[in-house]
Amino acid sequence: SDKPTLIACRTTIGFGSPNRAGTAKAHGEPLGPDEAKAAKAQLGWTAAPFEIPGDLATAWRAAGARGADARKAWTARFAEAGERKAEFERRLAGKLKPEVAAAIAALKDKHAAEKPALATRKASEAAIEAIVPHAPELLLGSADLTPSNNVKAKAAASIAPGSYGGRYIHYGIREHGMAAAMNGLVLHGGIIPGGATFLVFSDYCRPSIRLAALMGVQAIYVFTHDSIGLG
């Protein structure tokens, strides 16, 4: 299929544990030596601790070698990519173009001289407009609040069905999905994602924000309209 696929894995917590499978005890407590021994017996596991049976090691190494030829062919193509190769490596290394720092410095000088009265989100919008033309790795989006969050730069086309070359994602009313997708984009590499919504909706993003913090990934969260009266 050329459409997204949802794989639902129906599992039993503590599977294999004869006395704790499917119970809260398998979730909140260690099995302990006796129950661990019973679980190994039920699962037919006879290897000693930290010992990897030969058949499993062989299967694992075979799985790792499956893509060797494809990787070798890709590496050969990549070596001939010229300027695209250098740009790809720059993005994966997380090194911004020097034009980004120059654009930020110019904007700071402009605002310092003019001293405009701006809402925070409008100042953020000005910064985004300055940065986006020089940072092709920046992929922003909003959870159905684009006109309010002010994170869509004029230079960033929207990603749409059949048109995937844009640099802006309309996530819809999917704050949790947006934050989770951002983590995936960072972990892929070469992309700096940013997602926006009202601050009150950050609660929906919290599980993925927690994971982003634990993993130390470079995901950008833009939370505007700090008010319980909005949302």
Let me know whether 215 and 116 are in one domain: yes
- Asked if the structure places residue 87 within a domain, the reply is no
Contact call for residues 192 and 139 (beta carbons, < 8 A): yes
For the full predicted model, state whether its pTM sits above 0.75. yes
State which amino acid sits at residue 49: P
- Can 114 be counted among the known catalytic residues? no
Residue 231 is predicted with a pLDDT of: 56
pLDDT in tens, 160-185: 999 999 999 999 999 999 999 999 99
Catalytic residue among 29, 87, 137, 175: 175
Low-confidence ranges of the chain (pLDDT < 70): 230-231
pLDDT in tens, 12-39: 999 999 999 999 999 989 999 999 999 9
For residues 67 and 154, give the distance between their C-alpha atoms in angstroms, rounded to a whole number.
41
- Asked if the structure places residue 86 within a domain, the reply is no
- Asked if the structure places residue 126 within a domain, the reply is yes
In sequence order, the β-bridge partners of residue 160 are 163
- Asked if the structure places residue 14 within a domain, the reply is yes
- Asked if the structure places residue 149 within a domain, the reply is yes
Let me know whether 36 and 111 are in one domain: no
* Enclosing domain of residue 125: 98-224
DSSP state of 163: B
